[in-house]
Structure 1
Amino acid sequence: MQNHPLKSWLDVREDFLTEDLRREGRMGFNSGLCSRCTGLLGIFRCKECEGGELLCQSCIVSAHNRNGLHAIECWNGLSFEFSTLKSLGLFFQLGHTIGATCPKPKAPTNDDFVLIHTNGIHEISVKFCGCFNAAEPYVQLLRYGWFPATTHHPQTAASLAVLKNFQIHSFESKCSALEYYQALSRLGDGIGTRPVRDRYRAFLVMVREYRHIKSLKRAGRGHDERGIDGTKRGECAVLCPACPQPGRNLPVDWKIRPANEQYLTRWLYRLFLAMDANFRLKRRDNKISDESDPSLGDGWAYFVETEPYMEHVQRFGDQAQAKSTCSSHSAVNNSRLTDGLAASGVGSVGCARHDCMRPSSIGDLQKGERYANMDYLFLLSLSQEELQELIDMVISYDIACQWWLNLLARMLNYSKSIQINQAKITSSTYLVPKFHLPAHVSRCQTQYSFNFHQHVGRTDGEAPERGWSHINPIATSTCEMGPGARIDTLNDHFGDSNWKKTYTMGSTLLRKIKTAVEQSTEHTLLFHQYDLGLRSDQNMKKNVVLWEKELIAWHQDSCKPNPFEIRVKKPTLDAVRRQLAEEDQKAQKEGKAYNLHPKFTPNELIAVGLELEEQQRRLHVDTKSLGLHPTDHQINKLLRDGSDLYQSINEWAEAQQRYIPSISNLRQDESQPKNTINESWEMPLFLPSSIPSSFPCSSSLQDIEWRLRSAQANTALDELRRGLRLRSYLYTDKDRFARGQHQNTRARGTIQRTDTKVTAAAAKYRAARTAIASLAKLYTQSTWQKDFPELKDSDVRSLQVEPAVGKEGRKKKISPAEGHRKVSWIWGVVGEDGTALKNKELTDDLRVEWCKSHARAKRWQEEVLLLQEEMRRVLMFLESEADNWQSRVGFEKDGLDDASKEGFSAYAAQQSALRQELKGHFEEMWKDVEEFVREKGYKKRKAKKALSLLTSIAEEEKI
């Protein structure tokens, strides 16, 4: 703290304390006379006005005609004590100057009026104007800047400032109305001795009404001849400016652009949608019905209209839906608890690239993500008139592999009001978000991957998850609300989120395109280098040409063979054991069996030996994992396991000695302490791979172990990959959902157990490889090192980014995601040199990695084009919106006075100018983007040309 700014402040903090205490007195105004009139006793001062001067009663009241809610103090000769302007005679005369007397007062002075203000809750005196042209009392309050709680004899109001203040605070801090109201109460009365009548329920009503009015105002409903009642479905929603909006931000000829044009291709006008559910946004069953608490704008913003939605759910919600043929997804199988809940969560359809909620696309869920619920939200979201022309879409959903299969058939059974063009369903692309994909079966991980499908850029489909992270903090408030209050509150938050996405779109897209251009250059060159390296081998060149054709065919028709899938299946340990058992059975039938033990055949002898070796490894891990103070239960379990293993090894060793008689000499050389029960995991098994060459061993047994060890290595790699995928999923799931010490402890325990399995799988592979290396010397196997590469610690890494932690909490280097990664050999290429070996397994692996490398380069190239198009769309959308608001300047409506007409025109002009300003701001931020893209593209083409030239020279020298 030697150079910290607080160091110098500590030297003068005594002065700060002195001055703060000085303010508790009269601060030098000790004459006793009023500072203004100097004729009367000055004993009053305002806590909020600057200066601290002392005034008399008359002057303090006249000085606060326009600040009637300031806090007043009175000097009692020893200290200042609380006072109010109301007690000094100040009242609010609405419709006239404050403090003036209305010639025709509408009512006597209301001394019980409660006003909620940013500086506290006040009881004030109010008089309403009663002149012949006086407006209604609630209108007088609104014109003064106070929002009335009722329209009939209003007794309570809130200033527009406090309503706006709460709205912004709730958006940013997610504070509840109760917390905010309690804070206002403390501002006016810090110790509870001067309580003001409770107006919390009135405050809730005013908050809802204020939010609703602001939503209508910003949607332009006041400037529409149809009026508020003419509001259509979703018209109060804030639209995403970067998504394709026909008539707003697409070129006039966008539908006839040639499909093969390089920079103006039709796929750039695809609509990217993301479907998801949030089970944190529950609503408890508090017995409040939709009739007693309706939404103020049902279906006008993001939530669908309640009545038709519930009719649809009641009619189709209970129909049976097929069980998942993929992983056991709880969303498909409806395994969510709903006891005591009116809504178990919400389903939504949003923008998959920009994280904006779509109009009329959110609805309550009653029992998991039933297809009936999600179908309705999806179809209604696309039934808007302006979207009818958009046919090509990309739909992201974490259970897309199951949901879309019978979507068209289900839609034809639904009401005509939500049915859409069938071409939209049949021509759309359905994919699974990148984070959710590892939880699917291997077939889905290639068939529904954003990484492998063309014309999707670097879209990850996880936009809803990022949006939920901002909305989840208000779940504790909304879960206790009535249905209408909850919908209105969530609509307001979704609208604010969409608007924030809009005005931050400039920096967001700029950051993305900088990354995309850099990554596009890097991965294009990496693929070009890899591709040229393969094509330099004449045998591999034919394969690459074939792979390229397969990739094109699959992109045109996904029913064709998937080039990203492994086709040459490596034998697993179970498969080899089954094959050996079938061989034993066949040999027995033919009378060729060579069994020296009634219980163990030669095949079973080696297979059981491998099982015993695996049990030793597990027992070793369990023993080492004991803490400093193990429990009796843990010790007893280890002793039992060790005893069982000891007996099993002795029984197996007896049979082994019949097949390998020389094994007895090896066992006698072993020290006795290792043959104790509690150290049975150290007992040597002497499988053929570990027997010294000087001891005779049957070649048939060595051959059996070679086959089993090879399968064991492949199985261990499968277990290692599964464990790494699961661990990556658990890390992200913990960050997203684990809250509190209990949940975090359980999550860490699960991750630790998974990490133990990963370590065990790696150990199994290394043990198998060591045995293979020993047996290879006997058979002079030359390719085993490339078939089974060495597994280093750095090779044991996931495809996903995971916050792995090393010793003492130090973070290790994390592996990059699919679009950035340099893959470990365990996920693709077998061997470190990448040369083309003449075996089917490696050729298959090389094909998959070539396709993935090609896909990485193409996705980044597409991302650059998509971002450029989105920038153009944003600017065009803002221009369209500015023109739309400008056309409303001078809006005429029956019954408007001159002041109202002026206000209508001023607001329209303001909104038009705001969008023009935002458009100009974005243009300034993006002015160098085209040059940046062009410069990087030139460097990329130059590097590719140089690389091709070097490759051709190397080939000529080789010839």
Structure 2
Amino acid sequence: MKQVGVRRRDCKTDKEPSTARLATNVPTYEVTFHTGASAPRTEGHYVTNTAGCVAQPTIFDLPANMPPDVPPDGQSLPFFFDATEEGPGAIPTYETTTPCDEKGAKIQKNVAHMDEFKAEEAIFLQILLSLHYNAQLLTPCACGKDSRLRKVACTECLQAELLCPQCWLIKHRTMPTHWAMIWNAKEQFFEKHDFCRVLKKTSIDLSHYGDRCPQADLARTFTLVERNSIHATAISFCRCTTPEGKRGFPEFQQLLRAGIFPGSVKEPKTGYTLGLLEFYHEQRNQGKGSTYNFVLVLQRMADPFFAGSVPDIYVNFLAVTRFHQHLDIIMRRGHAHGLDVPLPGEANHPYPNRPIGFLGVLCAACPERGMNMPLVVQEKSYLRHLHSQHRTLDGNFKANRFFKRDDGSDTALTDGNMYFPNQMEFEKIAKEYVVAEEDKEVPCKAHIGSIRHQGLVKYGTTAVSGVIACACDHAVVGSFVNMLKGEAFVLGTLAQRENLRHTNTPPHGPESPTPTVFSYDSWRSFVVNQLKRAITLFPEEEWLHRLLAAVEGQIPADHINGHGTDCQSFWQAVYFACRGHFHGETAEMLWAFLNPLGSSTRQMTDAARHDIINFVMDAWNMWKVLRQAELLAAERLDALRLFELHMAVVEDLSRQHATEVIHETTKVLTIENTLAAMVAEEREKMRRKAGHGDRPPMVEWIHDGMSIERQQFFLIALLASHREHPLQDTWETITKLRNSLNLDLKKFRERQREIYPRLQLSGLDVDEPELTAIQLPSYRMKHGQRGANDEDSELREAEIKLRCSEANSGILAVRAASLALSAVKKARDLDYQGQAGITRSQWNLQKAELMKAFEITMYNRARAALVHLGHMEKDDEEPYPPMDHRDTR
């Protein structure tokens, strides 16, 4: 068996470790962390498991006769023995590998403590009060003009000096939304004024970089809204002759060019800065606050005591923010640049499978033919989860809408172009579709019965009782459909169709199908007539019929607990192949984000509600997509670490129950394979010789001796650990092993008398059987007792073959023990819950360290035996170099 050595860098330094072989040949990968707070840090991780590697068993319920490659487990600190000696020798210092911090160096943030603030309270008060006065007040202005005194301040400009009115206006001609604090000489305080009230006949001038147009008319009153409040100001439009001969460009265009979004097209009297609209959109997307409260805040910032005297912009602000967000999405999605028009020389537009005019954001991580993967994929069926699409369906009854007096004139700006379907199509389906009788009865009697009961009582008086969402397994929304009186299946089918339509318009060809899995809490009932409903609703959309006929389904992992036994047996995700850990609950993640918005959208018209939900959930989709690369990379690393831990657990359980399951032999050159081949060969030789047909094979006697040696070394390790940390369980295990060892030694020594009738047996103490010498050929050769007959030569050759197999298996065992120790160290934090968790974690760590040290000891013991047998020299590095803990880093 070829020995493969793996070398990796030390976690703490950049120096190369020892050139000795590592106890594992598991492939590794390196990850470099760039935290910005320190130098980059590189870590190595195991990525796969290699066939034949083994993990440690427990020290409980040990078989009476342990094979040499099945190590028992322990629960105390490990001890490393010098394997060149027959018994316990000098114990060198045990070295451990300090694991690197997986999350990188943590930066301690400095937080201002309240006691620090309280200690400087007087200073804070003094400086804050001083801001209401200025030492430059009523002193000559820097402009040098006679009788011009400093008496106007600005609260928006940081560290601004006091100026005369004329200089203040010049400085702020392009910043007219800054509030002027003018000194009131009569009342002796700074009084808050708008830009146009600093001097008479002052106005906001457009189209001349802040200067007044020579042809301008008299300024007219105008309400300008900025983030710092609502300004009742005056504005002057440019009246210069245009190339078309008109007297000035339209007023709304002049406002837009100045960065002010007009409140109307014809004779606008209200305007909103673009910065305010962007701020409001971000605040609504994140905070879900109502527009009414936002406007109240703006009014109180203008005048906190008489907010009623500030212009009321609420109704106009609702319309402007909707339209501005609509325009913003058109620009962000590229439709303002002709995205739906084919490129020169091409027949199709840039995204041929997207609906014309679609404004939504789709998941960038979900596999889509022709977008992020080839159109045709040749893949094994058992790997289909790598290019499958996973979709979840779920209903929400908090994003509802009350009955409103609506004349029907308002239409959604995003009607059918984002996540809600076309309103006329929806109303037609909701009005004409007749629910089938089989859809009214839930097959799963233990289920909550959402189709029959949900929403009828609590939300029966609402115009819209909620929404059904269809999302991918990365929690990116694909479609919303209104619910009228509960979670009807027809609405779920409509949600499916809308989601699939976004990536199948026109549909993909039959040569590039995409496996699709749907998850729905009512899936067992929903799937019965899924295809039939789709054919009834959309008879001409054959692409949809083909997709739904081939989809797979499941019930979400959390909802499955509310179903009956049949559902849990047939529709639980863990019972399906190639699901890629798809738990089916990602639609639930949307509701934590959408529910706070429902308190305001339920009071809107249907059109406005559709637009606002589309806009807000589009922001959710965008944030999800922007973070996908980082999150998926982190999840990949977590999955690899979890794989290491799971493999260690699986191998550990397999080893514990190895005697309960009959395993077929493999082609791996293990000690069992070697023993079986040698026994068969020896029996064939004995069959040919008269009088030897019934004699047990001598190779089995050698194998039994090696197995006894293994038990002895493990007993010595347990005894040493028990002296350091006495435990009742450990002592009971020692007693059990000693009883088993005495029985094995009795059989071994009886067989030894037959093989070496003139050899004096070594001393045996039944109270300490672990100290009894096992007189195998390697022991005799070490002590100069080997004979010169042919039988001794055969025994020597037999032990060499078995020792080579033991060394090969020992390398695999050390590798598995190293992986298990690494996994236990990584999982330590998960067990730190109370004293019991800490004790359990320390116990597991001690067992893993003991098993690693024990496997290294047994490998070196096999190598030492080969040296005594003359198979290799003591200083040889090939084929079995000496091993210590440093080689396993």
- Measured after TM superposition, the shift of residue 192 of structure 1 is 0.6
Task: Work out which of the residue numbers 118, 121, 140 in structure 2 matches 1:33.
Answer: 140
Deviations, residues 543-585 of structure 1 (Å, cap 9, x unaligned): xxxxxxxxxxxxxxxxxxxxxxxxxxxxxxxxxxxxxxxxxxx
Change (3 A) 1:439 1:33: same
TM-score (norm 1): 0.53
What is the aligned partner in structure 1 of residue 269 from structure 2? 155
Task: Work out which of the residue numbers 80, 96, 103 in structure 1 matches 2:190.
Answer: 80
What is the aligned partner in structure 2 of residue 347 from structure 1? 468
What is the aligned partner in structure 2 of residue 357 from structure 1? 477
What is the aligned partner in structure 1 of residue 207 from structure 2? 95
Task: Give secondary structure in 2 for the equivalent of 1:330.
Answer: coil
Query: 2:196 touches 2:204 (CA, 8 Å); kept in 1?
Result: no
Task: Give secondary structure in 2 for the equivalent of 1:342.
Answer: coil
CA separation in 1, counterparts of 2:405 and 2:541?
30
Change (3 A) 1:394 1:413: same
Change (3 A) 1:168 1:227: farther
Superposed, which structure 2 residues align to 1:712-731 within 5 Å? Answer: none
Superposed, which structure 2 residues align to 1:427-576 within 5 Å? Answer: 427-531=550-654, 536-537=659-660
Task: Give secondary structure in 2 for the equivalent of 1:343.
Answer: coil
What is the aligned partner in structure 1 of residue 388 from structure 2? 270
User: What letter is aligned with 2:274?
Assistant: L
Change (3 A) 1:513 1:97: closer
- Measured after TM superposition, the shift of residue 216 of structure 1 is 0.8
What is the aligned partner in structure 2 of residue 50 from structure 1? 158
Task: Give secondary structure in 2 for the equivalent of 1:201.
Answer: helix
Change (3 A) 1:38 1:23: farther
Deviations, residues 585-618 of structure 1 (Å, cap 9, x unaligned): xxxxxxxxxxxxxxxxxxxxxxxxxxxxxxxxxx
Superposed, which structure 2 residues align to 1:298-697 within 5 Å? Answer: 298-320=415-437, 321-326=439-444, 327-337=446-456, 338-352=459-473, 354-358=474-478, 361-383=479-501, 384-385=504-505, 388=508, 389-531=512-654, 536-537=659-660
CA separation in 1, counterparts of 2:192 and 2:464?
49
Change (3 A) 1:57 1:401: same
Change (3 A) 1:227 1:195: farther
Deviations, residues 787-816 of structure 1 (Å, cap 9, x unaligned): xxxxxxxxxxxxxxxxxxx9xxx99989xx
Task: Give secondary structure in 1 for the equivalent of 2:590.
Answer: helix
User: What letter is aligned with 2:140?
Assistant: L
Change (3 A) 1:237 1:130: same
Query: 1:304 touches 1:363 (CA, 8 Å); kept in 2?
Result: yes
User: What letter is aligned with 1:246?
Assistant: R
- Measured after TM superposition, the shift of residue 433 of structure 1 is 0.6
Query: 2:140 touches 2:149 (CA, 8 Å); kept in 1?
Result: yes
User: What letter is aligned with 2:448?
Assistant: H
Deviations, residues 709-728 of structure 1 (Å, cap 9, x unaligned): xxxxxxxxxxxxxxxxxxxx
What is the aligned partner in structure 2 of residue 190 from structure 1? 304
Query: 1:234 touches 1:299 (CA, 8 Å); kept in 2?
Result: no
Change (3 A) 1:813 1:187: farther
Deviations, residues 52-97 of structure 1 (Å, cap 9, x unaligned): 5332222222221111111112223322223332122321222223
Change (3 A) 1:38 1:194: farther
Task: Give secondary structure in 1 for the equivalent of 2:451.
Answer: helix
- Measured after TM superposition, the shift of residue 180 of structure 1 is 1.1
Query: 2:206 touches 2:237 (CA, 8 Å); kept in 1?
Result: yes
User: What letter is aligned with 1:161?
Assistant: G
CA separation in 1, counterparts of 2:460 and 2:308?
44
Task: Give secondary structure in 2 for the equivalent of 1:283.
Answer: coil
Task: Give secondary structure in 1 for the equivalent of 2:463.
Answer: strand
- Measured after TM superposition, the shift of residue 318 of structure 1 is 4.2
Query: 1:245 touches 1:386 (CA, 8 Å); kept in 2?
Result: no
What is the aligned partner in structure 1 of residue 22 from structure 2? none
Query: 1:35 touches 1:54 (CA, 8 Å); kept in 2?
Result: no
CA separation in 1, counterparts of 2:278 and 2:615?
12
Task: Give secondary structure in 1 for the equivalent of 2:593.
Answer: helix
Change (3 A) 1:494 1:55: same
User: What letter is aligned with 1:380?
Assistant: E
- Measured after TM superposition, the shift of residue 452 of structure 1 is 2.2
User: What letter is aligned with 2:405?
Assistant: K
- Measured after TM superposition, the shift of residue 473 of structure 1 is 0.7
Deviations, residues 173-198 of structure 1 (Å, cap 9, x unaligned): 11111111111111111111782221
Task: Give secondary structure in 2 for the equivalent of 1:82.
Answer: strand
CA separation in 2, counterparts of 1:12 and 1:301?
54
Query: 2:203 touches 2:233 (CA, 8 Å); kept in 1?
Result: yes
What is the aligned partner in structure 2 of residue 800 from structure 1? none
Superposed, which structure 2 residues align to 1:118-197 within 5 Å? Answer: 118-133=227-242, 134-192=248-306, 195-197=309-311
Report which stretch shifted further, 311-320 or 169-178. 311-320
Query: 1:334 touches 1:370 (CA, 8 Å); kept in 2?
Result: no
CA separation in 2, counterparts of 1:234 and 1:436?
36
CA separation in 2, counterparts of 1:61 and 1:25?
20
Superposed, which structure 2 residues align to 1:19-30 within 5 Å? Answer: 19-26=127-134, 28-30=135-137
- Measured after TM superposition, the shift of residue 31 of structure 1 is 5.0
Report which stretch shifted further, 62-71 or 126-135. 126-135
Query: 2:388 touches 2:517 (CA, 8 Å); kept in 1?
Result: yes
What is the aligned partner in structure 2 of residue 238 from structure 1? 361
- Measured after TM superposition, the shift of residue 482 of structure 1 is 0.4
Task: Give secondary structure in 2 for the equivalent of 1:341.
Answer: coil
Change (3 A) 1:368 1:812: farther
CA separation in 1, counterparts of 2:112 and 2:212?
56
Change (3 A) 1:187 1:4: closer
Matched, 1:109 2:219: yes
CA separation in 2, counterparts of 1:152 and 1:214?
22
CA separation in 2, counterparts of 1:345 and 1:193?
36
Change (3 A) 1:215 1:225: closer
Query: 2:138 touches 2:149 (CA, 8 Å); kept in 1?
Result: no
CA separation in 1, counterparts of 2:660 and 2:390?
41
Matched, 1:287 2:405: yes
Change (3 A) 1:15 1:469: same
Aligned length: 539
Deviations, residues 769-799 of structure 1 (Å, cap 9, x unaligned): xxxxxxxxxxxxxxxxxxxxxxxxxxxxxxx
CA separation in 1, counterparts of 2:150 and 2:467?
62
What is the aligned partner in structure 1 of residue 32 from structure 2? none
Where relative contact order (Cα < 8 A, 6+ residues apart) is larger, the structure is 2
User: What letter is aligned with 1:94?
Assistant: L
Change (3 A) 1:492 1:381: same
User: What letter is aligned with 1:332?
Assistant: I
Task: Give secondary structure in 1 for the equivalent of 2:650.
Answer: helix
Q: What is the RMSD of the two structures over their aligned residues, measured on CA atoms?
A: 3.2
Change (3 A) 1:424 1:101: closer
- Measured after TM superposition, the shift of residue 305 of structure 1 is 0.9
Change (3 A) 1:97 1:385: closer
Runs (4+) of structure 1 exceeding 6 A deviation are: 539-542, 810-814
Query: 1:246 touches 1:387 (CA, 8 Å); kept in 2?
Result: no
Query: 2:454 touches 2:487 (CA, 8 Å); kept in 1?
Result: no
User: What letter is aligned with 2:597?
Assistant: I
Deviations, residues 89-144 of structure 1 (Å, cap 9, x unaligned): 321222223242333x3x54212x11111111001111222222243111111111
Change (3 A) 1:446 1:33: same
Structure 1: give runs of 5+ residues left out of the alignment: 543-805, 815-938, 950-959
Identity %: 23
Query: 2:464 touches 2:482 (CA, 8 Å); kept in 1?
Result: yes
Structure 2: give runs of 5+ residues left out of the alignment: 1-110, 243-247, 343-348, 666-832, 839-851, 863-889
